[in-house]
Structure 1
Amino acid sequence: MLRRTILLFLMGMALIFVILYLVDPMRVWDEMQNLSVKFLMIILSIQILIMLLSAIKWRVILMNSSVSIKDIIPATLVGYLVNNITPIGLAGGEPVRAYILSRACGIRLSRAASSVIVDLFLEIFPIFALILISITLIILGGEAESIAIILGLVGFGLFILSAGIITLTTDKNLILIITKKLLNLLERIPLMRSYSKKKMMDADGVSVRFESAMREYMGNVRVLVLGTFVSIIGWVLKFLRIYLIFIAIGYRISITSLIIVETLVLALSFIPILPGALGTWEGSSIALFMLFGVDSVIATTVTIIDRFFFYVFPSILGIIASLYCGVNLSKIIK
């Protein structure tokens, strides 16, 4: 897995270098000089707040558990890192952060894993809303219908996913199947191999505890409302971050174009091709911004700066957090 990850990572970096070469890296660098320290600090603060909100949302889900936010934050950061280095549709870090929290707080892994699934569920509503808004804007603005079709397919996929998560609170057979699939997935990660083999012998018991935790979380209206609210704030801040980057380099982009492009790029990033969608995110983002009339140099500059803040910066913090948690990364991606 390590060799494959490194190879895919290098492929992603190669794509980025090709994009920069085609656009003209010196012109991109010149545009980057327009980013003042003031805007830099504001954008950095927004990204830090986004990451804190992600941890707070997880804490909301676990409000009835004896879990400290000081344990949730490093687990969240390691999750960011693993998402960025594994080609699993930006969700590779979820089992890892569940394991770290379970180990740090002494709660059952089945409970931690179910909280992670609910965490993902709370992200679905804002994304689904963004897709509906984007499709509406495309239709009203007379934009390419193919974009609306792609977004519609992604929205349908999210609907199926959310229905599946809700079903996990009622269908015991499905829960057992998912539990075994999850344990098989964990067995592929060296860090959790021995644990998953041990728990596979008690798959029925694990599935019962998993079902109980899912019912508790999904049946708690306060968790669902507060969690979704925090998630929405996080998404607003993500759009604000990239909008401010455009402003910082002196370009005024329409909110409509920004929403459509970022929503479609997000949808494409769930396709598990390259680690952290490296290369594919940059390429699709730049191409779509150009489709909406943004100059190629401006589009590339904004995309590279934005990726630094939500890819490179969280990854650095994730490495620090993994050292703090005593997590050997080689045992995750080996």
Structure 2
Amino acid sequence: MDERNRRAVLIGAFGTIAVFALLFVAVGADRVLDSLLSADPSLVVLTFALALCWLAAWSLMLRTILATLGVDVPLEKTFFVYAGAVFANSVTPFGQAGGEPVAALIISNVSESRYETGLAGIATVDVLNVVPSLSLVFVGVGYYATTAAVGERLETAVGSALALSVGVVLLVVLVWRSRETLVECLPASVAPRIARLGLGRFDPATLEADLADRLSRFFENLERISTDRRRLATAIGLSLAGWLFQAAALLTAFAALGYSVPLSVLVFVVPLANLAGATPLPGGLGGIEAAFVALLVPTTGIEAAAVTAAVLVFRGAVYWMPVVIGGVSVSVFGVRELR
């Protein structure tokens, strides 16, 4: 690990520790611990089982997208491939944005496909996940507004979701419309810098041609995905199922502590809180937990310590379990070579 990466990891780790420390001081660490110790073990196990269902749904989503590109990943291996991708997203800053290059390398090596194919696949999965999440946010918040007053925190969160989504859409449109220019100009700009850093295996001219070829195939892969409407619809349906499994897992985590929470609240809180994954923390760790607490306390009326305990059970299922499974998967598959 070079000095720059080591510094980024240390900053992310200290940032996560600082966020958790502030959270526990604010809500009371002793009360959180008491709530955790009172949890029903059978319902905690069910929370983890529902998280596995979420992971399975999104792994099938990735398999569907890769099938569009002619990449066949065996069904029994798909789950572990996606878990490896989640692992990459969970241990790098900025969530999906930081983990996508590593996730693409995992997919490339396991499926014996080219790197740009894996990158197109995982990038499409991450972008498509935005579609049902926004639908759940606006439908859920709309329903909530008919039963209770929408507080300032929720208004801010929804506004942030809308602004981020618009920004993502505009960026995607800009990149797509400029794809020919990018293929022509970007490799010429990047290749000499890579060569000077000693990261390339070829001379600048050869490296430039290789980058241009890979970038061109990346955009061709995206075009192939966009034209297969049936598989796109299937992928979006699997994405929606995954979000609903996450909401059900959080519902069960609250039930494990003896609380009943409306599912209609959780279906919009889960995608909203995950926006904190865009923070420069490893997989948003710490920031996402704080966002959940900030959103759930005013919308459920449950005390902050109990909410924090439920969120910790839930995040153990949707963050730490995939990190363990994905870390083992990456180690077993072995990620050594860029194809």
> Which TM-score band applies after superposition, normalised by the shorter structure?
0.7 to 0.9
1:98 is aligned to 2:70 = no
Give SS of 2:245's match.
helix
- Aligned pair partner of 1:309 in 303, 309, 317: 317
Q: Within 5 Å, which residues of 2 pair with 1:1-334?
A: 1-64=5-68, 65-69=70-74, 70-137=76-143, 139-140=145-146, 141-145=148-152, 147-162=154-169, 164-165=171-172, 171-173=178-180, 176=183, 193-194=199-200, 200-267=208-275, 269-292=276-299, 293-327=301-335
Structure 2 unaligned segments of length 5 or more: list them.
Answer: none
Per-residue Cα deviation, 1:225-259 (whole angstroms, up to 9, x for no partner): 10001001000000000011111111112334334
Give SS of 2:274's match.
helix
Per-residue Cα deviation, 1:46-72 (whole angstroms, up to 9, x for no partner): 111211222111110122424223454
Instruction: Specify whether residues 174 and 323 from structure 1 end up closer, same or farther in structure 2 by C-alpha distance, changes over 3 A only.
Output: same
Which letter maps to 2:285? L
Moved over 6 A (4+): 195-198
Per-residue Cα deviation, 1:139-184 (whole angstroms, up to 9, x for no partner): 4332125633542342243244245446666653355289759x88
Structure 1 residue 220: Cα displacement: 0.2
- Taking the aligned partners of 1:320 and 1:314, their CA distance within structure 2 comes to 10
8 A contact 1:19–1:283 mirrored in 2: yes
Per-residue Cα deviation, 1:98-136 (whole angstroms, up to 9, x for no partner): 112212222122222111222122212111212322442
- Taking the aligned partners of 1:78 and 1:29, their CA distance within structure 2 comes to 31
Percent same amino acid at aligned positions? Answer: 18
When structure 1 is superposed on structure 2, of 246-255 and 285-294 the one drifting more is: 285-294
Structure 1 unaligned segments of length 5 or more: list them.
Answer: none
Instruction: Specify whether residues 157 and 180 from structure 1 end up closer, same or farther in structure 2 by C-alpha distance, changes over 3 A only.
Output: farther
When structure 1 is superposed on structure 2, of 165-174 and 53-62 the one drifting more is: 165-174
Structure 1 residue 326: Cα displacement: 2.0
Which letter maps to 2:239? S
- Taking the aligned partners of 2:293 and 2:201, their CA distance within structure 1 comes to 43
Q: CA RMSD in A?
A: 3.0
- Taking the aligned partners of 2:56 and 2:129, their CA distance within structure 1 comes to 15
